[in-house]
């Protein structure tokens, strides 16, 4: 592989080292990837890590096959600054995959393993949007990136691939990650290999709407996060509890529940071939990056749209696309009153 050659490494990393501390971190990827001679590995490991208040994530995920031919990611292990938080995730592979919650300034080292058995072997990868990474963490095939097939073949040979993400300032938002390598250079995102990355802003605050008023609230004040993937034939949901950070897969066209008065955050990402129109009846929310309130949003594949609202009453959400709505792409947002103490 070309990048084992020191010239190439210098080309891709040396000039950046001067400016981006994240790249120092990125050198460590080689040691996990079985790609480099151990001597070189040790050399790289001895490079100093810069001190940072930001968290360091070590994540291992697996791609697996569910029944009905659906493929999905499973969280194997997630350590944040060496604290194991794996129990927050489903033990099974899920659609959407595990939601990776980060904060601007964090660093991520993510290893993908391939538990999909079929003949011939197929590669899986994690291609992420939004955050920073160099060309070796693109999660694409060599035919695209001209350097390497940046994914994992099935585990029987002990193969895996490790990506380094720099959750740099300016990357706050909700982003998709998905496979890019299964069978073709388009990958198998359409078969279930997708999930969400939430990058919370370093400022610790997000914009929220309360009816028609707009305010800034702390991220810590969000009681629930709902990840809703608009796939071609259903919304696929994942809920994250604001207090426990526990993730609960909600399945297709889920019922979303909230307590009246709570601030909840929706994370919409589209995936597939259809163009969608998201509506949450009776609610208005802030169009990201503006002070405008909207009640409907057109979302195309791999676009994202995140907003925070105060739960005021029950409502239906739907995809207003003609045939997708008829196919049942809709669900309920049920808001109940808090139980009095």
Partner 1 sequence: MNKIILGLKTASVKAAALALLAASLLASQTALAAVHDISLTAEILPNGQYGYKRGDKAVIPGPTLFVKQGDTVNVTVTNNTDKPAGFKVPGLSTATAAQAAPNGGTLSYTFTATRTGAYPYYGEGQQLLGLFGAVVVDSADGKAESFVDGDGAVRSIRTTDLSRQFVLFMVGSTFWATEISKTGMETPLWTNPTLGAVENEIVRFHVLSIGPGHTFHLHAHRWLEQGTTSVIDTRLMADVADSHTFTVKAGTGVGAGDWQYHCHLFSHMEAGMHGSFKVYSTKGPNKGTGNSIAGASPYGAIFGNTSNDPGLVTFVISDEPGMWFRSARSETIFSVTSSTRSLEVIPPGSSVNFIMADTNTVHTMTSLLWPSAAGNPSNGHHSNNGNDKSRGRGTAHTEHASMPFDQTRAYKGGGIVKLTTPGLYVFTCKVHPYMFGAVIVDDPDTEGLDLGDTINLATGIVNLPTSSDLATRLLRTFFIATAPNNWQKFNSPTPWKITYPSVPVRITGGAVANLSEVLTARYGNDVALTPQFSPAVPGVGEVWVDTQFEKTAGKTKPGTITVVDTSNWKVLRKIALPQINMNNPHNMWTNRDQSVVYQTQWFDNKLTLINQKTGALIKNIRVGEAPAHVMTRPDNDDITVTNNGEDGISLIPAGTTEVSQMLPTQKSGQQATNPHGHWISADGTQVVTPNIFTSDVGFYDLNSGAILERTPTGENAPGAHPIAIAMMPDSSKYYAANLLHHSVSVLDGRGTLKKTINLIADYNPIDGTIQDRDGDGQATVGILPIQLPVSPDGRSVVVANMGESIIVIDTMTDRVVKMLPCDAGCHGANFGAKKGGGYYAYVTSKFSNELIVVDTDPNNDGNLSDAMIAGRVSLVSDSSVPADDQISSLAGYGGQGVLAIPNVYNSWVKNLPGEWKEQLTAAQQDPSLRQD
With binding defined as CB under 8 A, does residue 175 bind partner 1? yes
Considering the complex, state which of residue 242 and residue 288 has its C-beta at the smaller distance from partner 1.
288
With binding defined as CB under 8 A, does residue 85 bind partner 1? no
Considering the complex, state which of residue 21 and residue 248 has its C-beta at the smaller distance from partner 1.
21
Annotate each residue in 135-154 with x if it binds partner 1 (CB under 8 A) or - if it does not, as one string: x--x-xxxxxxxx-x-----
Pairing type for strands 100-103 and 304-310 reads unpaired
Which of 81, 316, 322, 336 is in the footprint of partner 1 by CB under 8 A?
A: 322
Rg, the chain, Cα only:
21
Annotate each residue in 37-66 with x if it binds partner 1 (CB under 8 A) or - if it does not, as one string: ------------------------------
Which of 111, 125, 162, 171 is in the footprint of partner 1 by CB under 8 A?
A: 171
Query: Which positions from 216 through 275 interact with partner 1, judged by CB under 8 A?
Result: 231-234, 236, 252-253, 271-273, 275
Which of 60, 104, 106, 150 is in the footprint of partner 1 by CB under 8 A?
A: 104
With binding defined as CB under 8 A, does residue 132 bind partner 1? yes
CB of 149 to partner 1, least distance (A): 7
Which of 33, 97, 98, 130 is in the footprint of partner 1 by CB under 8 A?
A: 130
With binding defined as CB under 8 A, does residue 173 bind partner 1? yes
CB of 305 to partner 1, least distance (A): 10
């Amino acid at each position: 592989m070309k990048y084992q050659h020191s010239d190439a490494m210098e080309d891709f990393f040396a000039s950046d080292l001067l400016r981006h501390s994240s790249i120092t971190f990125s050198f460590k990827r080689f040691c996990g990837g079985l790609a480099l001679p151990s001597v070189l590995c040790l050399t790289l490991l001895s490079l100093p890590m810069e001190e940072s208040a930001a968290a360091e994530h070590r994540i291992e995920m697996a791609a697996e096959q569910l029944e009905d031919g659906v493929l999905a990611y499973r969280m194997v292990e997630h350590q944040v600054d060496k604290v194991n938080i794996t129990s927050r995730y489903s033990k099974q592979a899920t659609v959407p995959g595990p939601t990776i919650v980060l904060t601007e300034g964090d660093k991520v080292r993510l290893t993908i393993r391939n538990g999909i058995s079929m003949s011939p072997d197929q590669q899986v990868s994690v291609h992420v949007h939004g955050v920073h990474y160099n060309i070796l963490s693109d999660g694409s095939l060599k035919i695209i990136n001209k350097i390497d097939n940046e994914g994992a073949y099935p585990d029987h040979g002990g193969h895996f691939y490790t990506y380094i993400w720099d959750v740099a300032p300016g990357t706050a938002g909700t982003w998709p990650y998905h496979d890019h390598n299964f069978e073709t250079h388009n990958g198998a995102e359409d078969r279930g290999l997708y999930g969400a990355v939430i990058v919370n802003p370093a400022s610790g605050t997000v914009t929220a709407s309360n009816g028609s008023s707009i305010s800034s609230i702390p991220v810590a004040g969000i009681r629930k996060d709902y990840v809703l993937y608009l796939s071609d034939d259903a919304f696929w949901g994942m809920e994250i509890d604001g207090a426990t950070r526990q993730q609960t897969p909600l399945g297709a066209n889920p019922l979303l529940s909230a307590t009246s008065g709570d601030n909840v955050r929706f994370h919409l990402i589209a995936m597939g071939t259809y163009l969608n129109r998201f509506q949450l009846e009776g609610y208005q929310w802030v169009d990201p990056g503006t002070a405008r309130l909207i009640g409907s949003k057109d979302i195309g594949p791999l676009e994202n749209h995140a907003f925070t609202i105060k739960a005021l009453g029950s409502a239906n959400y739907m995809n207003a696309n003609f045939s997708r709505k008829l196919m049942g792409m809709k669900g309920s947002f049920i808001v109940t009153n808090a139980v009095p103490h």
